[in-house]
Each structure stands twice: as structure tokens, then as C-alpha cells.
Structure 1
Amino acid sequence: MAVVSAFSEPPSERRGDHAIAQINITPLIDVMLVLLIIFMVATPILSTRLDLRLPQPGPDTGQKPPPRLTLEVLAGDSYRLAGQALRRDELQPALDAQAARVPTAILEIAASGDADYQGFARALSAARNSGIEHVALAP
């Protein structure tokens, strides 16, 4: 009787029973063919055109944009409204007159680099008290 160890070759009569060390690609090909068919069916569905109705530009109404006023806050409680220099006590009456003259005007407030915060806060408060509804901060 022959002794068979784990590292020796199996006897000649059992050579046909060992496992094949190759990949069986038949199931892989089947899966790939199914995926190919799914993509072939789905692609025409995804590439259909959409019926979009985009908005078209309408006729020009002729409305002009509202006028813009520029208020510059300068150092030392001084201001410049539309190029005219103002002191602190002249700011509120000047803004009231501008609001009465052009109620839809947009007031752009710009502060110089050396202006203090209190002057800027006074300008915002005066604009609100004058009735100007549209205030923008200029860079």
C-alpha cells in the first residue's frame, strides 16, 4: 500500500477528479449580452427630443429705468448729493426735495475711505426719513 501525502501528486487513477483552475466565462458572456440588449432598448428612449416652449422677448414697452441719485459720505460730516456739496444740517432738506421731485429715484450711497460710520448712519437715516424707498449701496 502506498502512502499519499498532502504535497505529493495524487495516484494516477484519480487524475480526472481534480478541479479545473480556469475561469468559466460563459455566465459572464450571458450577463454582458443581457446588458447590451438593455442598453440598446433604453438608448432610443433617452435620446428623444423634448418639446419646449421658451419665452420669447416681448415688444419694447418704452419704460425708462428710474433715475439714480448719488450720495457720497465724506469725512467730517460733509456730504455730496448729485455733485452738490452739503453740510450735515443741509442733508435732510436736500433729500426731502429730491424725494418730492423724483419719487421713484434710486439713491446710491457711497462712503469714502476716511468717512466715519456715524456719517454713513446719518445718511441712511435721512434717506429713510425723506421717503426714498429704493436705496442702494455703491462700492
Structure 2
Amino acid sequence: MEDSGRAATRRVVECVTARGGSALDTVSSLVLALGRLIETDAAVRAAARLTQERVGAGPEWCGCWLPDVEELLEQAAEEGQLHPEVDPRPLTQLTGHLVGGVVARARRDREGRPGAVVGELGELWCLIRRRVAARPEAEMPK
């Protein structure tokens, strides 16, 4: 089941990253796609949970997607998509913690409304993105 969860995760990562678009937009799409996957796929939840509970005991589920996020955020910084004061490394860590929280939240809320966890994730990511994204020229203080 763990291998199946990692494979499903990689398929989603490859699908989202293949679409193209800006690096920051791709990270946003990837975070939400991971949230949907966590909410709907028991094998993915199991792989993620086992990673949280058995640190260092085999391939980690985060290794299926977090390196891609790190690369995309570094690219976003290089291309000026991130606010100049935002370091992509801690932002990668924050993204890892956010998605890890989705795993815990989905596990606790299995009887809740479908899509509720992803909805919360979308709201949180929107807040984060507003604070880390470079401001368009028109919004820069003068």
C-alpha cells in the first residue's frame, strides 16, 4: 500500500508539473492537487502517515513531491515571482508542514464534508501566497 501511495503521488506531481505555467502557479496547483489526493486516496494517506510515524525507515512519502516544490520555489525566486525577502528554503519547509497538516486533518475528519480539507488548504495557501509573492509594479509602495 505504501508503494501504491508513493506512485499515485508521483503521477499527480508529474501531471501538474507537465502543464507548465509559472513556477509559483505550479506550486499552488501542486499543493492543492496533493490536498485532494490526500483527502481521496487511502493509499496516499497511509504512505504519508507511515512517513510521519517511521522516520528513517524507508523511502519517505515527502520525497515524492517536496524536492519538486523546492526546485519550483527556487525557480520562482530566480524569476522574481517571490517577494525579494522570501527565501525559498524556509518556504519549502513551510509547504511541507502545511501538507503534513493536511494528512493529519484528513485522518481526523474522514466523516466530514467531502472537499472540506482541500477547501481549508486552499484558504491557507492563498494567505501564504499573498505574503510571499512579489508584488506587481502597480502595487509597489512609492
If each structure's strand is expressed as a fraction of its own residues, which one has the higher value?
1
If each structure's helix is expressed as a fraction of its own residues, which one has the higher value?
2
Larger-gyration structure (1/2): 1
Q: TM-score, normalised by structure 2?
A: 0.31
Q: TM-score, normalised by structure 1?
A: 0.32
